[in-house]
């Protein structure tokens, strides 16, 4: 029964099982907060050296005074560096971490410097970088610098270009950044396991000439997917296709940062894909062009307008547009299951199934269970039911969630918004709240 918990979403007869399960779970420890989950502690080592971990909240706001416009990593942060005799020194620590995907669900992940994905590395074309990598994972690892042109021995492929970084060991990578653009880092050791656990990060290299490819707002995030059965905390790394958590930077809607921009801003959004499938990323209200891939900048003559761009596995696509139209514009993966929470998959099909007399019949058979007929006319009622507390399994997320100014948004997973507002100051990335529509500009009942 336990292995099928995630199938017990309350649709039709399955709600019976959910309600019954919930009552059996009530007596258990529900305190699965960030610090106190004893079942997680058995499986991983919490960060022991918090001094190295800067609070993301203190870092995600772009800083002034750089020769470039700093990147904004959704729900993430940029790793600080130290300048040592002309070399930018970074220190990545590969280690188990706990990531909150959304309130109500935390996941045992592998990441870097306390977070999964790891912090964004940010440097400038021409920089010499020295990157220390300390391995605090329970097994060996390496780091591959995806897309970077560098000496073969710095490429990070365990066994092929370097020995594996053993548990407790520190290796150093050093190379000169000969390109600008959008890149990633991830292990090239036991990849299936380590990437399924969330070991990944982005590597942004700004052009040497800050006027080249300049934009007003520059965002980045990684697509990552996980298979975490309801009631459990650790992703199943052997899953190949049936993932149930679809995330931007290991966060799910409505807990993914919105991208807050001003009318007139040139906006770039860089999306890297380290999942096991492609994601057609779609934006509302504007047309965009793909201006950069992990292979470099796309020449202007080779760009064309799009509203959806597919980001295949192991690819990066940076889209650019000028924010012209005020409003709250959706940006999401267009695979509809990827904008659903983990409870939305593998539910029984109750569409058009008459269930009128089932409540009575099941109550007669099993008086302790609560049964509610659902799903006959579609699944939109799910969010309402979930809001009333029907999804009561431990450590999982509802099928659809999020509430906007007009009610339930009925989504989850790979979904966020670009909030375009007038008069938003440069450098102000704060959430603009919901859009106040001008009178007469909202679709209405007639």
Choosing from 128, 282, 303, 335, the residue that interacts with Cu ion (CB under 5 A) is 335
CB of 414 to Cu ion, least distance (A): 5
By C-beta, is 250 or 432 nearer to Cu ion?
250
CB of 107 to Cu ion, least distance (A): 18
d(CA 260, CA 97): 28
CB of 311 to Cu ion, least distance (A): 8
Binding part of the chain for Cu ion, among 101-109, 193-201, 334-342, 422-430 by CB under 5 A, reads 334-342
CB of 332 to Cu ion, least distance (A): 8
Site for Cu ion in 32-91 (CB under 5 A): none
By C-beta, is 246 or 297 nearer to Cu ion?
246
Counting contacts by CB under 5 A, is residue 251 touching Cu ion? no
By C-beta, is 88 or 338 nearer to Cu ion?
338
By C-beta, is 81 or 246 nearer to Cu ion?
246
Site for Cu ion in 336-355 (CB under 5 A): 338
d(CA 91, CA 171): 10
Residues in contact with Cu ion, counted by CB under 5 A, come to a total of: 4
d(CA 217, CA 426): 9
Query: What is the H or E stretch that residue 364 is in?
Result: helix 358-365
By C-beta, is 19 or 333 nearer to Cu ion?
333
d(CA 26, CA 21): 9
Positive or negative: CA dihedral 312, 420, 124, 55: negative
CB of 25 to Cu ion, least distance (A): 31
Q: CA dihedral in degrees (303, 331, 415, 276; nearest 10)?
A: -10
Q: Are strands 105-112 and 144-146 parallel, antiparallel or unpaired?
A: unpaired
By C-beta, is 41 or 337 nearer to Cu ion?
337
Binding part of the chain for Cu ion, among 54-62, 276-284, 395-403, 418-426 by CB under 5 A, reads 276-284
- The encoded tokens of residue 202 equal 């982005």
By C-beta, is 179 or 278 nearer to Cu ion?
278
Where does 284-406 show beta strands of DSSP type E? 289-293, 296-297, 308-311, 316-322, 327-333, 401-404
**Closest C-alpha to 206, from 67, 65, 91:** 67
Phi, psi of 135 (to 5 degrees): -100, 105
* Residues 374 and 11 sit within 8 Å (Cβ to Cβ): yes
Q: How many CA atoms lie within 13 A of 335 on its CB side?
A: 17
By C-beta, is 281 or 393 nearer to Cu ion?
281
Choosing from 146, 217, 268, 279, the residue that interacts with Cu ion (CB under 5 A) is 279
Burial of residue 185, with CB atoms counted within 10 A of its CB: 0-12 exposed, 13-18 middle, 19 or more buried:
buried
Choosing from 98, 109, 323, 333, the residue that interacts with Cu ion (CB under 5 A) is 333
CA gyration radius, the chain: 23
Binding part of the chain for Cu ion, among 42-50, 225-233, 250-258, 325-333 by CB under 5 A, reads 325-333
By C-beta, is 105 or 333 nearer to Cu ion?
333
Binding part of the chain for Cu ion, among 91-99, 307-315, 333-341, 360-368 by CB under 5 A, reads 333-341
CB of 333 to Cu ion, least distance (A): 3
Binding part of the chain for Cu ion, among 188-196, 271-279, 316-324, 399-407 by CB under 5 A, reads 271-279
Binding part of the chain for Cu ion, among 78-86, 193-201, 273-281, 366-374 by CB under 5 A, reads 273-281
- The encoded tokens of residue 406 equal 């007009």
**Closest C-alpha to 244, from 276, 283, 270, 221:** 276
* Contact positions vs Cu ion (CB under 5 A): 279, 333, 335, 338
């Amino acid at each position: 029964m336990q292995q099928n918990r995630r199938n017990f979403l309350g649709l039709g007869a399955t709600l019976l099982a959910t309600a019954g399960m919930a009552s059996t779970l009530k007596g258990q420890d529900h305190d699965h907060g960030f610090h106190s989950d004893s079942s997680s502690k058995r499986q991983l080592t919490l960060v022991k050296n918090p001094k190295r971990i800067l609070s993301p909240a203190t870092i995600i706001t772009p800083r002034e005074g750089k020769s470039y416009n700093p990147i904004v990593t959704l729900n993430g942060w940029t790793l600080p560096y130290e300048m040592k005799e002309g070399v930018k020194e970074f220190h990545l620590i590969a280690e188990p971490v706990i990531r909150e995907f959304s309130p109500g669900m935390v996941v045992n992940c592998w990441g870097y410097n306390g977070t999964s994905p790891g912090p964004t590395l940010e440097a400038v074309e021409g920089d010499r970088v020295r990157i220390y990598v300390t391995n605090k994972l329970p097994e060996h690892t390496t780091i591959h610098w995806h897309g970077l042109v560098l000496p073969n021995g710095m490429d990070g492929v365990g066994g092929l270009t370097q020995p594996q970084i053993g548990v407790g060991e520190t290796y150093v990578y050093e190379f000169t950044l000969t390109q600008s653009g959008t890149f990633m880092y991830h292990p090239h050791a036991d990849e299936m396991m380590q990437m399924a656990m969330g070991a990944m990060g982005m590597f942004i290299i700004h052009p040497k000439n800050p006027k080249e490819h300049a934009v007003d707002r520059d965002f980045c995030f990684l697509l990552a997917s996980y298979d975490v059965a309801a009631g459990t905390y650790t992703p199943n790394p052997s899953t190949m296709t049936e993932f149930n958590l679809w995330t931007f930077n290991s966060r799910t809607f409505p807990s993914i940062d919105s991208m807050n921009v001003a009318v007139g801003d040139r906006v770039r959004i860089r999306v890297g894909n380290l999942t096991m499938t492609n994601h057609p990323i779609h934006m509302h209200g504007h047309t965009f062009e793909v201006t950069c891939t992990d292979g470099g900048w796309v020449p202007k003559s080779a760009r064309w307008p799009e509203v959806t761009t597919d980001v295949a596995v192991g690819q990066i696509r940076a889209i650019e547009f000028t924010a012209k139209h005020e409003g709250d514009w959706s940006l999401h993966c267009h695979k509809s299951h990827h904008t659903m929470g983990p409870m939305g998959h593998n539910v029984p099909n109750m569409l058009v199934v008459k269930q009128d007399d089932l409540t009575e019949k099941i109550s007669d058979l099993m008086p302790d269970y609560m049964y509610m007929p659902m799903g006959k006319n579609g699944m939109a009622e799910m969010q309402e039911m979930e809001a009333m507390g029907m999804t009561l399994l431990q450590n999982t997320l509802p099928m659809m969630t999020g509430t906007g100014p007009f009610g339930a948004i009925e989504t989850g997973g790979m979904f966020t918004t670009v909030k375009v507002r007038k008069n938003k100051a440069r450098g102000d990335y704060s959430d603009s709240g919901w859009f106040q529509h001008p009178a007469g500009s909202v679709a209405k009942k007639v």
